[in-house]
Structure 1
Amino acid sequence: MATTDDAHLVERQLDSAEVYQGQFLRVHKDFVALPDGSTATREFIRHPGAVMVVPLLDDGRLLLERQYRYPMARVMLEFPAGKLDAGEDPLACGRRELLEETGYSAAEWACAGVLHNAIAYSDEGIHIYFARGLRKGEQKLDKGEFLELVIHSAQELDALAARGELTDAKTLIGLLWLQRWQQGAWPLDWQRAD
């Protein structure tokens, strides 16, 4: 959020062009005036936003997914997440994605906040939700979606991160938030599911 004190840092758009529109990503190339009066171009992605869910099992362990991610050309370990549909409430998206991808529903939900994982080239915001009181149901994966469910403790995830084996930014932030919440430093306001 820019304030009047930030005027010496703010870039001003002079011209904008959408250079690509895909199924949900749009690529823009803008021409901007820099604070010193010079000009530059900015290329960035417009993204509709997403939701990530940190599912807590009753025994304290966490439900995660292993999924092949094409840009990385490898299977990645991550918390369940998905893209927001146009006009969709983030909590509704979180509930939908948790059920579709894992088959679980939750009795309680807590919104932690929003993370911006690639601010230099994308406006994507990922809403972080925690879910507990999980009840197992049936997965309803989207056509063309393939993933494997796995269970890890926070300590196991921490060790994977320390070894560089857990690298997904949203999952690392989810783990950080979990650890800070467990330490009593970052609050979560739990609400019963309707």
Structure 2
Amino acid sequence: MKKFEEKTTQTTAIFDGKIVKLQVDEVILPNGNMAKREIIKHPGAVAVIAITHEGKLVMVEQYRKALERSIIEIPAGKLEPGEEPIVTARRELEEETGYGAKEFIFLQTFATSPGFADEVIHLFVAKDLYHIENKAALDEDEFVELLEVSLEEAQAMVSDERIYDAKTAFAVLWLALQEVK
């Protein structure tokens, strides 16, 4: 048994969208009481820590409607049905940055918002980058600007909140820890 497990007695589908689904689960708590949990179901995503030959971190700036602002992020994207995370990582790196990589190293998978969503991100490091002549096109509703920044610049972007999302802040922390070793 999982510690503090909540047993689902009923699931009610609320919304089935292009990216997410919303459901309400009725659960029995470990103490026997009943509760409701609003849960967002997500197919999962990948994120890529791409490092140039010059040691720069490849990032993109894009507008995020949920935040009503632009933020700077590492390349990332949603898994397609049945797609392996490494395939998504290659595709998203190419589409968003115009780079390919000769080597992808899997780092870890982590939950983004476990209090209400099942989304996980599979994090990769991309090394030995090369420019792609005829890169894949961005999604029709995607607009990004490419940036290549030093670790110090990225750390400053975390401090002044231009980097504002957890996956990118995690990437910057991971890179800083590599420098310490």
Q: For 1:10 and 1:168, how far apart are their aligned partners in 2? A: 29
Q: For 1:144 and 1:86, how far apart are their aligned partners in 2? A: 20
The residue number in structure 2 matching 1:172 is 169
Q: Does 1:45 align with 2:40?
A: yes
The residue number in structure 2 matching 1:107 is 102
Q: Decide which of 145, 148, 151 is 2:148's aligned counterpart.
A: 151
Gaps of 5+ in 1: 185-194
The residue number in structure 1 matching 2:54 is 59
Q: For 1:182 and 1:93, how far apart are their aligned partners in 2? A: 28
Q: Secondary structure at the match of 2:87?
A: helix
RMSD of the alignment, in Å? Answer: 1.3
Amino acid at match of 2:141: G
Q: Secondary structure at the match of 1:149?
A: strand
Amino acid at match of 2:159: A
Deviation at 1:24, TM superposition (A): 2.2
Deviation at 1:87, TM superposition (A): 0.8
Gaps of 5+ in 2: none
Q: Does 1:22 align with 2:17?
A: yes
The residue number in structure 2 matching 1:130 is 125
| Percent identity over paired residues | 36
Q: For 1:11 and 1:144, how far apart are their aligned partners in 2? A: 39
TM-score (norm 2): 0.94
Q: Deviations over 1:62-99 (max 9, x none)?
A: 11000011111111110000000011010011001111
Amino acid at match of 2:165: D
Q: Secondary structure at the match of 1:71?
A: coil
Q: For 1:88 and 1:25, how far apart are their aligned partners in 2? A: 17
Q: For 1:179 and 1:123, how far apart are their aligned partners in 2? A: 28
Q: Secondary structure at the match of 1:72?
A: coil
Q: For 1:170 and 1:148, how far apart are their aligned partners in 2? A: 18
User: Number of residues paired by the alignment?
Assistant: 179
Q: Secondary structure at the match of 2:66?
A: helix
